[in-house]
Amino acid sequence: MKLTPAQIEDYEREGYLFFPGLFSPAETATLNAEVPKLYAEQRVENVREKDSTAVRTNFAAHTYNDVYRRLAHHPRVIEPAQQVLDDGVYIHQFKINGKAAFDGDVWQWHQDYGTWFNDDDMPQARAMNVAVFLEDVNEFNGPLMFIPRSHKKGRQAAAHDLSTTSYPLWTIDNATITRLVADGGIVAPKGAAGSMIMFHCNLVHASGSNMTPWNRTIVYLSVNSCRNHIRRFHRPDYIAHRDFTPITCLPDDCLRS
């Protein structure tokens, strides 16, 4: 899948692109069918919520599940990343974030590059996230919130929050968020299962807790330029991957075969 010049311009200006319903219901059902099995496994790749047994994040499913291996090679995910980053790309991080009904906790305001710079020594902000909705995302069940154009401000000062949730994060203080929102506002792309978002690794984002009866599961593929690979191998390799081989795309129908 190739982006148009207008889409590239929008991405560079706003920091994200939203593709409603990009994956078909059948493709999304194929992805969804694997999630309960992955979440049921007792393995280190499943990080659970602080005060619940609900899975907060499943890491690296593409390394041990064939369906998610195919998603990690899907041209609708990989080709736009190659185009924007102007390089071969690899998966720096792969996670299935399960903001479970009633139990899904917040993700604080942050930039992903802040974590990748501080924890993994990623040299430059030449990376992006690609997020695929596995369930409908509405205004109530914890949609992603973005501050448009915040990626233009560069990497923000961040503190290492080790206590708010079960997963440590480099988070941005309230005064900085207030200033950034005054400049860019807040948007929260919402849509049906199968929708996809691409967003810059410096785009400031967050999501609230899920107090509804509706799960909100999203797959995140953090895609990095091969020439920008990490230099520090401090975190486990299921969180920060070590394979910097450029990804070769599978056929577009790889989730339907």
| Gap between the Cα atoms of 42 and 201, Å rounded | 30
SS3 labels along 76-135? HHHHHHHHHHCCCEEEEEEEEEEECCCCECCEEEECHHHHHHHHHCCCCCCEEEEEEECC
Q: For residue 152, with 0-12 CB atoms within 10 Å meaning exposed, 13-18 middle and 19 or more buried, which class applies?
A: middle
Say which residue the tokens 């990804």 belong to.
247
Identify which of 125, 132, 16 has the alpha carbon closest to the alpha carbon of residue 67: 132
CATH class of segment(s) 5-227: mainly beta
Tens digits of residue pLDDT in 139-194: 999 999 999 999 999 898 777 766 555 566 788 899 999 999 999 999 999 999 99
Mean pLDDT, residues 200-229 = 95
Q: What is the mean pLDDT of residues 197-205?
A: 97
pTM: 0.92
